[in-house]
Amino acid sequence: MSNNLSRPNAQAEPMTLPLDGCSRANTLAKALDVAPSTIWKWQSEGKLPKPMKLSNNITLWRNADVLAFLNEKAKASGLNPINYATLASDGNHSDFNGVAQ
């Protein structure tokens, strides 16, 4: 019986945000390769665009706002802006009206 969970040479496929729709903190964390707690820390420090609060338990960031923010940060750091149109995923991880989990 093989254990698919412990494959030492397996690489996780990089995740990108769709250009449209919204994402929750866990999705942003995966796309930015950080822990979800880092997303919440950055949000509280004002280092991310302002999210939308749908309820006490649901906070969403507009993907377009996050991608534009990242592009501005790249430009300010002297990096080339990223062409997100070529990086956008096909939206398979969106669960409802473009809201990614």
Residue range of the domain that includes 38: 24-100
Q: Are 66 and 28 in contact (CB under 8 A)?
A: yes
Residue 18 lies in a domain: no
Burial of 61 (0-12, 13-18, 19+ CB in 10 A): buried
Q: 0.75 exceeded by the pTM? A: no
Counted domains in the chain: 1
Q: Are 66 and 49 in contact (CB under 8 A)?
A: yes
Gyration radius of the chain's alpha carbons: 15
Residue 17 lies in a domain: no
Residue 15 lies in a domain: no
Per-position pLDDT tens, the chain of length 101: 444 444 444 455 556 788 889 999 999 999 888 999 999 999 999 989 999 999 999 999 999 999 988 888 888 888 877 665 444 444 443 333 344 44
Instruction: Note the pLDDT of residue 11.
Output: 54
